[in-house]
Amino acid sequence: MVSTLRTVLGDVLPEQLGVCDAHDHLFLSTPLLPGQGLRDAAAARAELAAFRAQGGGGVMQWTPYGLGRRAADLPALARESGVHVVAATGLHQAGHYGEGTLERLRGRLAEVFVAELTEGIGASGVRAGFVKVAAGFHALDAHARWTMAAAAEAHHATGAPVAVHLELGTGALDVLDLLCGELGMPPDRVILGHLNRSPDFVVHHQAAEAGAYLAFDGPSRAHHATDWRMPNAVRALAEAGFTDRLLLGGDTTTAGARSVSGGPGMPYLLRRVRPRLEMAVGVQVVERMLTENPARAFSVEWH
Ligand SMILES: [Zn+2]
């Protein structure tokens, strides 16, 4: 069996990915960010081009079901920019949805995830490459347990990795207890997001030791209070031997945060975060975080 990354243009070998933004958004619309949605395909195209100009080769788009993924637009954007784009299935926290949407998914959530991974998102024919779900602040509510159970089921059916939004970076160990302890997922198929938002180096160490991937994503956006601690958090993990567990992402979530709107956007990851991290852990470690690690974390022996 060959491991591949399931991009919006089809499956590719992991070594084709290149320098990867392991957590970002080209499109995202949620009632929690009214009027700030990422909806404009021309802006997404320009953002990808700016990322490409900084040496970017791949983007993992963590926008899940029902939040304006615009899956049908993704193949053209990937083709025109020359950047590999991987789309997600999955479900965010309940607050991002109207009750009607969630009711329609009761009893068939895993089925929807599997269909989007294997057949396509809606009528687009574009397949998702991973499952994105979300935890709560230091806790897992009934919605999080429901979506994670479906995500684990979809993993077991397809091999797809599961990427988790940690609320303000908390709850990592509860998520691993549920997905790996109760639901039988291998830890190296779990990608924890937003570790930078809760700089508890002991919890980081425990999550890495358990075998999960840790994504440090979202520099200089809405959650900037801990940005300055990120290089030291990454260095502590690298020095403890967990270099191969580390991922980097930009997590652009509003139109105003795109570089083409005057925000940091996707290129910032390569333009400013990369050289800053190189000062903390060296060029080779950062290179692995941007290439080998995301290629390994998101590639799958699909079944
Ligand atoms: Zn995100």
Residue 227 pLDDT class (50, 70, 90 cuts): confident
Question: What is the rounded average pLDDT of the residues 30-54?
Answer: 94
Query: Worst-scoring range by mean pLDDT, 60-64, 85-89, 249-253?
Result: 249-253
Judged against a pLDDT cut of 80, whether residue 219 lies above it is answered with no
pLDDT digits (tens, 9 = 90+) for 138-181: 999 999 999 999 999 999 999 999 999 999 999 999 999 999 99
Could you give the residue ranges of the DSSP H alpha helices within the chain? 41-53, 74-81, 99-105, 109-118, 142-158, 172-176, 201-210, 230-239, 267-268, 274-281, 283-290, 292-298
Q: Which two tokens stand for residue 10?
A: 């089809």
- Residues with Cβ–ion distance below 5 A, ligand 1: 62, 251
96 known member of a binding site = no
Judged against a pLDDT cut of 80, whether residue 30 lies above it is answered with yes
Q: Which amino acid is present at 276?
A: R
Judged against a pLDDT cut of 90, whether residue 302 lies above it is answered with yes
- Per domain, the residue ranges of the chain are 5-298
Q: Which two tokens stand for residue 19?
A: 């320098």
Percent of the chain having pLDDT more than 70? 98
Judged against a pLDDT cut of 60, whether residue 130 lies above it is answered with yes
Cα separation values, 239 from 185, 206, 244, 250, Å: 27, 14, 11, 23
Judged against a pLDDT cut of 90, whether residue 243 lies above it is answered with yes
CA of 79 from ligand 1 middle (Å) equals: 23
251 known member of a binding site = yes
CA of 253 from ligand 1 middle (Å) equals: 6
CA of 1 from ligand 1 middle (Å) equals: 31
CA of 111 from ligand 1 middle (Å) equals: 23
Question: What is the rounded average pLDDT of the residues 92-111?
Answer: 95
132 known member of a binding site = yes
DSSP assignment of 148-166, as one string? HHHHHHHHHHH---EEEEP
CA of 251 from ligand 1 middle (Å) equals: 5
Closest CA relative to residue 220, chosen from 277, 161, 177, 263 = 263
165 known member of a binding site = yes
Q: Which two tokens stand for residue 256?
A: 């105003």
* pLDDT of amino acid 72: 98
Question: What is the rounded average pLDDT of the residues 71-96?
Answer: 98
* pLDDT of amino acid 222: 58
Question: What is the rounded average pLDDT of the residues 269-274?
Answer: 95
Q: Which amino acid is present at 162?
A: V
CA of 188 from ligand 1 middle (Å) equals: 20
CATH H superfamily, domain 5-298: Metal-dependent hydrolases (3.20.20.140)
194 known member of a binding site = yes
Judged against a pLDDT cut of 60, whether residue 220 lies above it is answered with no
